[in-house]
Amino acid sequence: MTQPSSTRRDFLKTSTAAAAGAVMPYWFTSQSARAFPFKSPNDRPVLGCIGTGSRWGADGPSAMQYSDCVAVCDVDSGHAGHAREVAKVKGNRDVAVHEDYRHVLDRDDIDVVTIVTTDHWHSKIAIDAMRAGKDVYCEKPLTLTINEGKQIIKVLEETGRVFQVGTQQRSEMGQRFLQAIAMIRDGRIGDVRKVVCDIGGAPTCDSLPAVDPPKELNWERWLGQAPLVDYREATGDDKRKATRAHYEFRWWYEYSGGKMTDWGAHHVDIAQWAIGQNGEGQGATSVEGVAEHPVPFKNGMPQLDDRYNTATSFDITVLFPGVEMHIVSQSPDGNGILFEGTEGRFHVSRSKLKGKPVEDLASNPLPDGAVAALYGGEPTSHMLNFFNCVQSRKKPISDVWSHHRALTTCHLANIAIRLGRRLEWDPQSQQIVGDSDANMWLGREQRKGYEIDVPV
């Protein structure tokens, strides 16, 4: 039988290798950094899945390669029911279904959780999960505000959990991005002076009527910390309707940051990693830009509540020490990142790595092990990296600290375009300089009963 989680967690608190060995669970035995093979079900961590919508279709089965799922949770019973059937087939076992994520966290037998909910729920569930002694794999963007990043880091440092953020460009879909960073570290374009992150624009929609939510959806709980408002959805039979919920939540500031955080969480993250601006005390010094929104704004707030409200197009200028970054919705090179240095330039995307410095690799390749040194070993799948770190207790490739710094840039960009003014930022104090009104936007009002009780 699988050992109880309290035993696993007691092991983590031991101070010496000998003490750890005395209580070490079976699944913490030494494994290959590449394969992490399990010889029997008793060797494997126990998994709970919180949020089982469209993205879970990738994350859930991936996690189940390395763990045994015993519970799924979603406020949409249709999503939860489908996930239960997937998990049953994967694990050949019965799987519990919950609507309230706290029932998953209350289970002592669960070691790790995946959090694949809407963005505005990520922080609270992640904090509660860490406090419940679970290791966490949470989809990006991790936070809705800058203060939420501070809160997650505070609890992570207090609990010592392993926490992987779902920015897969750092792993399996990121081989080209890792190579790009290795090229920059090897001086292939000299000193980086300019970076352009093309993250694409966002959609608009017509006025959405207020209708009854689907019978399988607990709308009040889906809203969580966000204001209690009507459910809205387009009429018609389109397979993916414009709505105020599920996948389309990305285009509402109440629940997400639009493309700025949805894709900025990927490209801005890689860009700041490349230029060495993702550590403590590092980050932007100023942010300004222009944007088009599908609704009018007043004092940063959308004045219509019946349609998408995040920016559809934008051009943001972010200054870092010695580097100018542009976050744009459209560029000549298309979606991806353009790096310009004192000795050359190249562009990287999920499908291509192009430019003369790239062509020069044929005759002058990167040093052996350059990418592995960057990754901390041979790159693996993102989920395997997480489970290897659950085993080793090392920091995953997509850690909360660096993710928070990248998302801070994205959140500042959204604050700047919503307020319509330039922001000066102090990355040491993590405060907007000389603008008390703008500093109010570092957090958000939280509906009673759903607050995050972590002082900032």
Shared domain for 163 and 198, answered yes or no, is no
Shared domain for 134 and 36, answered yes or no, is yes
pLDDT tens column, 170-190: 997 678 999 999 999 999 999
Can you name the residues that pair with 138 across neighbouring β-strands?
115, 165
pLDDT tens column, 270-290: 999 999 999 999 999 999 999
Q: Look at residue 390 and tell me if it is in a domain.
A: no
Phi, psi of 338 (to 5 degrees): -100, 125
Instruction: State how many domains the chain has.
Output: 2
Query: Residue 215 in 3-state DSSP?
Result: coil
Q: Which of 113, 135, 170 is the C-terminal boundary of a domain?
A: 170
Shared domain for 152 and 181, answered yes or no, is no
Identify which of 82, 41, 80 has the alpha carbon closest to the alpha carbon of residue 64: 41
Q: From CA 185, how far away is CA 192, in angstroms rounded?
A: 10
pLDDT tens column, 17-39: 332 332 222 223 333 334 444 44
pLDDT tens column, 137-177: 999 999 999 999 999 999 999 999 999 999 999 997 678 99
Ramachandran assignment for 286, one of left (phi > 0), alpha (psi -120 to 50 degrees), beta (any other): beta
DSSP-H helix ranges across 116-234? 119-131, 146-159, 175-185, 219-223
Using pLDDT thresholds of 50, 70 and 90, give the confidence band for residue 57: very high
Shared domain for 329 and 263, answered yes or no, is yes
Using pLDDT thresholds of 50, 70 and 90, give the confidence band for residue 237: confident
Q: Which of 170, 198, 218 is the C-terminal boundary of a domain?
A: 170
* Exposure on the CB side of residue 97, measured as CA atoms within 13 A: 16
Query: Residue 407 in 3-state DSSP?
Result: helix
Shared domain for 164 and 194, answered yes or no, is no
**CA-angle at 61, arms to 60 and 66, nearest 5°:** 95
Phi, psi of 72 (to 5 degrees): -125, 155
Q: Look at residue 164 and tell me if it is in a domain.
A: yes
Question: Residue 414 belongs to what domain range?
Answer: 174-376+400-442
Q: Look at residue 447 and tell me if it is in a domain.
A: no
What CATH number is associated with residue 108? 3.40.50.720
What is the predicted pLDDT for the residue at 21?
A: 30
Q: Look at residue 17 and tell me if it is in a domain.
A: yes
Using pLDDT thresholds of 50, 70 and 90, give the confidence band for residue 235: confident
Phi, psi of 48 (to 5 degrees): -125, 135
> Could you tell me what percent of the chain has a pLDDT over 90?
88
What CATH number is associated with residue 238? 3.30.360.10
Shared domain for 238 and 117, answered yes or no, is no
Shared domain for 320 and 183, answered yes or no, is yes
Q: Look at residue 384 and tell me if it is in a domain.
A: no
Q: Look at residue 326 and tell me if it is in a domain.
A: yes
> Could you tell me what percent of the chain has a pLDDT over 70?
90
- Evaluate if pTM is beyond 0.85: yes
The tokens of 205 are what? Answer: 């929609």
What is the predicted pLDDT for the residue at 132?
A: 98
